[in-house]
Structure 1
Amino acid sequence: MHMDERRAIEWDCTRLIHQYVNLNDAQDWHAVAALYTPDARFARPSKPDEFIEGREAILASFTARPPRAQRHVIANTVVDVEGPATARAFSVIVLYMGDVPEGGGLPVQDAKSPLIGTFTDLIVNTPDGWRFKQRVGGLDFRP
């Protein structure tokens, strides 16, 4: 594989990871779910051994959660290209969360915040572009 092609895949996959956290923070769950393949597997950082199977189930798991104020920060992303249609990625994730006051204004940060963890991804090239085939979270510290 030519170096330019490898770098383009690395960039596309990194952009997918960044797009995911931005859409997640916007709580645009349909757009978040669309970043997964139809048969994807997802495990939240808080439950790394519990897989949610399939895009529709992933969407349902997000829409079932009560709304919260949140901001994800993703860092240290490294993408390893396996081939023209497959890559693996590792990222560190920091999650700030809290409750929005009834009168509006800035959210009050949750005492368990921030959470520090990781995502390990299998990303594949589809007719719709690069998508998560498997996304496994994990926590580095107990809240």
Structure 2
Amino acid sequence: MTPDERRAIEADVTRLIHAYTWANDDADWHACAALYTEDALFRRPSGGEPVRGRAAILAGFLARPPRAQRHAITNVLVDVVDENTVRARSVIVLYMGEVTSDDGLPVQDAKSPLIGTFTDLVVRTDEGWRFAERVGALDFRP
């Protein structure tokens, strides 16, 4: 693999991580789930049992109660294993609030912000780069 190919993979996977973040903040759960492989494993940073499979991940997203949210993803580090496999880590900062009935700005939740990490296994598929594993963890208690 050439240095340019490696950099292109790093850029593509960084873009995947950011696309996921924007879809999540837009509550576009179908777009979020589409960024996983069919048999992916996902664990929310807030804990709970891991969820396996794109359909189950989508169902989990759809079951979420509405909330205002904004994720900031930082310190993205992409390690290319080979031309089809990548490991990545990133820091997540999550601001949350309740959706208002008057379309005004939400009031920030007292538990905000939450700070944690994502550890990802990303693979190249026919659909492009997708999360095979996305494991979140909190770094501080709220």
After TM superposition, the score normalised by the length of structure 1 is 0.98
Q: How does 1:64-103 map to 2 (within 5 A)?
A: 64-103=63-102
The number of equivalent residue pairs is: 142
| Structure 2 SS opposite 1:57 | helix
Letter in 1 for 2:122: I
Deviation of residue 100 (structure 1)? 1.9
Match of 2:59 in 1: 60
Letter in 2 for 1:52: V
| Poorly superposed stretches of 4+, deviation over 4 Å | none
1:130 to 2:100 alignment: no
Deviation of residue 101 (structure 1)? 2.0
Q: What residue ranges of structure 2 are gaps of 5+ in the alignment?
A: none
The separation in 1 between residues aligned to 2:27 and 2:99, in whole angstroms, is 14
Deviation of residue 83 (structure 1)? 0.3
Q: 2:87–2:119: 8 Å Cα contact kept in structure 1?
A: yes
The separation in 1 between residues aligned to 2:77 and 2:17, in whole angstroms, is 11
Letter in 1 for 2:70: R
Letter in 1 for 2:101: E
| Structure 1 SS opposite 2:140 | coil
Match of 1:119 in 2: 118
The separation in 1 between residues aligned to 2:56 and 2:79, in whole angstroms, is 28
Q: How does 1:40-51 map to 2 (within 5 A)?
A: 40-47=40-47, 50-51=49-50
The separation in 2 between residues aligned to 1:109 and 1:126, in whole angstroms, is 38
Letter in 2 for 1:41: L
Deviation of residue 50 (structure 1)? 1.8
Q: How does 1:20-35 map to 2 (within 5 A)?
A: 20-35=20-35
| Structure 1 SS opposite 2:14 | helix
What percentage of aligned pairs have identical amino acids? 69
